[in-house]
Structure 1
Amino acid sequence: MKSSNIGGQAVMEGIMMRHGDSYSIAVRKPDHEIEVRVKPYQSLIQNKKILSLPIIRGAISFFDSLIIGTKCLMYSASFFEDEEEDDKEKAKKTEEEQKRQEKWLMYGTVGFSIVLSVAIFMMLPYFLTNLLRHLISSHVILSLVESVVRVAIFLLYLFIVSHMKDIQRTFEYHGAEHKCINCIEHGHALTIENVRDSSREHKRCGTSFLFYVMIVSAILLMFVRVNSPVLRIVVRLLLLPVIAGISYEIIRMAGRSDNKFVNALSKPGLMIQHMTTREPDEEEIQVAIEAVEAVFNWKTYLAENFDYDIEDGEGKKSFSEAYE
C-alpha cells in the first residue's frame, strides 16, 4: 500500500473527495445525471509553518473537515429540495442574501454539531460516571469507567444510526469512497471492476479517527487530576483540540505504514467501519470514480508509485496478488 493523500466523505447521494489544494463533490441528481463540482481548498489557518506542526495541524484539520463537510452536505442536499418552493424563495432573495444565509446556516450547523458531540460523547459520560464518585475513590478507576461509558455510548450511537433506513444510501457511498482510495493505493486502475473488488475498510477513515479520540481522551484524562467539578468540565473542553490533534497524528501514521504494530493498532477502527460502510452498487461506484478523477490524476500516481503503464492502462500485478 502507498498513501495517496486523498481523502473523502459521503454526502447525500454523492461523495466529496479532497486532494492537495482542491476538493470535488460528485452528486447523483434526481434525473440520474452526475453533477461534479470542483472548489479550491482553503484552511482556516493559511500559515504553512503552523500547518506543519504536529498535533496543532491535526486540531486545525479537524475543524477544516467539519466546515468543508458541512458545505458539501448542504450542496448535495440542494439537489433534492422541493423545486417549486426553492424557486419562490429564490425569487424573493437576491444572490447575495442567499449566500449570506447559507454562510450563517453552515456556521450554525457546525457550531451545533460541535456542541452536540461534546455534550453526548464528552460531558454525558463524565456526568454518568460522576454518580459513582461516592462509591469509587480511585481516580484511575473512575477514569477507566468514564472511558468505558464513552466508548459504549459511541458504539450505541453508531449501531442506532447504522440501522436507520435513510442513512443506508449514505453508508453505501461511504463504502464506495473507501473502495476507490484502496483501489488506487494498492496499485490498480480505477475501474468499476477493480473498485468493486477492493476493501471498504480504510485506516484513515473518520470513523477510526473518532475511535482514537475516545482512546486518547481516556489516556489523557487519567493523568489529569482536578478536585473542582467545574474545573473538570473546563479541562475536558480545553483538552479537545489536543485530543483531536493526537488522534490525527495516529491516523496519519496508520495511513502511511504497513507496520504490524500499526496494523494491529488500526484493527478496532477498521472493525467499527463495518457499521458505517455498506457495499455500494455500480452507480454509486461511478459517482465515487468521478469525484476522484476531478481532483486526482490516478494514472500518473500509479505510474510513479507502481509498475503501471499509462499508455497501455495496465500494471504487471494482478489485483489478487496485491492482497496476498
Structure 2
Amino acid sequence: MKYSNIGGQAVMEGIMMKNGDHYAVAVRKPDKEIEVKVEECHSFIKNKKILQLPFIRGVFNFVDSLVLGMKSLMFSAEFFMDDEEEEKEREKEEKQRKKGKDPEKENSILLGFTVAFSIVLAVGVFMILPYFISLLFQKLTDSQLLISIAEGVVRILIFVGYILLISRMKDIQRTFMYHGAEHKCINCIEHGMELNVENVRKSSREHKRCGTSFLLIVMIVSIIFFLFIRVHSPILRVVVRLLLIPVIAGVSYEFIRLAGISENKIVGLLSKPGLAMQHLTTKEPTDDMIEVAIAAVEAVYDWKKFLRENFGKEFPEDKES
C-alpha cells in the first residue's frame, strides 16, 4: 500500500482535511449545500527545523492539531447558529469595532485560551486523576509495581469510558460517522482506487495514523514510563508525570508516524489496539457524508496525481492531452 501525506478530522456536520501548509473544511449546511473553505495553516513554532526533529515534533504537531481542529470546529458551528445567536454575534463584533478592537484578534486570543484549557483539562483527567485513584490501592498492597499497573489500567478505563459516554450523544454519533468518512476517503486513495462515493463506501474506516490510536498509544506509553521511573515523594510523582507528558507525546507520535508508513508485522501488531478503538470513534457514514469528505479532500489534495505516480492510473483527461 502507498501512503499519502493527507490527514484530517471530523467537525460539526463536516470534515477538515490537511495537506502540507493548506487545509480545507467542508460542511454540509442546513440547506444541504456543501460549503468549502480553504486556507493556509501555520504552526505556532516558526522554526521549521524544530518541527522536523524526532520526538520533539510530536509535541508541536499535537498542539497545532488542536488549534486547527478548534478553528475548523468554530467555522462549521457558524452554519448551525439560529438567527438570534447570529444577531448577538454580529452585535458583539460591532461593539468591539466601535471600541477600536479587532474581533479576529479577540477570537484568536479566545482560541488560545480554549486550547490551553483543553490541554490542562485533558492532563488533569487522563494523567493526574488516575494517579490519585491508584493511591487507593495502597490499602491493598505495598508493591509500587502493582500500584503503577493499577494506575495505567485506571487511565485506560477512564479513556474508554469517556469515549463510550460521549458516543451516546446524537451529535457525537454523527461526528463519528464523518470521522469514518474521513478515514474511508484516505484509505480509498491509498489503496489505489478512484475517489468516488462507491469506492469510498467499500473502503475501511480503520487507519493507523488516526488521532484515536495516538491517544491510546499515549496511555500505553505512559504505563511503560511510569513502571520504570519511580520516586518516593508523592509531590515529586505528580511533578514527574507532568514533566514526562511532552516526552510521552513525542514517543507516541513517532510510533504513530512509523505505523502509518510501515508494513512491519510487529508494528502492525502493536497498532491493533488503536485500530480496535477506532470502532468506537468511527461509524459507517451515509453517502451524503462521503460527498462532504470527498469535497474536503479534493480542495487540498490532487488524488489523481497520487494515483498516476504510485499506481500508474490513467484518466480520460490524460488521453486527451
2:85 & 2:102 partners in 1: Cα distance?
A: 17
Match of 2:89 in 1: 89
In the TM superposition, what is the alpha-carbon distance from 1:88 to its structure 2 partner?
4.2
The answer to whether the 8 Å contact 1:189/1:313 transfers is no
> Which of 199, 203, 206 is the matching residue for 1:201?
206
- Structure 1 residue 104 corresponds to structure 2 residue 109: yes
2:116 and 2:108 map into 1 onto residues whose CA distance is: 12
The CA distance in 2 between the partners of 1:150 and 1:175, in whole Å, is: 25
C-alpha contact 1:300 1:310 (8 A) present in aligned 2: no
Q: C-alpha separation between the residues in 1 aligned to 2:75 and 2:252?
A: 28
Per mean C-alpha deviation after superposition, the further-off stretch among 46-55 and 127-136 is 127-136
Alpha carbons of structure 1 residues 284 and 132: separation in structure 2 relative to 1, 3 Å: same
Q: How big is the shift at 1:115?
A: 1.6
Structure 2 SS opposite 1:309: coil
1:174 aligned partner, one-letter code: H
Aligned pair partner of 1:290 in 286, 289, 295: 295
Equivalent positions of 1:1-324 (< 5 A) are 1-94=1-94, 97-311=102-316
Shift, 1:90, TM fit: 1.2
**How far is 1:97 from its partner?**
3.7
- Please, which moves more after superposition, 156-165 or 23-32? 156-165
Q: CA 1:66–1:88 in 2, change beyond 3 Å: closer, same or farther?
A: closer
* Partner Cα distance (2:121, 2:178) in 1: 25
Three-state SS of the structure 2 residue aligned to 1:132 is: helix
| Whole-angstrom distance in 1 between the partners of 2:213 and 2:198 | 26
Number of equivalenced pairs: 314
Offset of residue 312 of structure 1: 6.6
Task: Say whether the 8 Å CA contact 1:159–1:275 is kept in structure 2.
Answer: yes
Q: Give the TM-score taking structure 1 as reference length.
A: 0.93
C-alpha displacement of 1:199: 0.3
How far is 1:28 from its partner? 0.7
- The alpha carbon displacement at 1:139 in A equals 2.0
Give the AA of the match of 1:31.
D
Residues of 1 paired with 2:69 and 2:280: CA distance? Answer: 20
Aligned-partner SS, 1:131: helix
Amino acid in the other structure paired with 1:48: K
* Cα displacement (A) at 1:164: 1.6
- CA offsets, 1:48-105, max 9 Å, x none? 2211111001111011101111111111111111223313431453465421332232
5+ residue gaps, structure 1: 315-324
The alignment partner of 2:285 has SS state of coil
SS at match of 1:150: helix
C-alpha contact (below 8 Å) 1:17/1:291 kept by paired residues: yes
Rate the CA distance shift 1:253–1:313 in 2: closer, same or farther, 3 A.
farther
Specify the SS of the correspondent of 1:48. Answer: coil
When structure 1 is superposed on structure 2, of 105-114 and 284-293 the one drifting more is 105-114
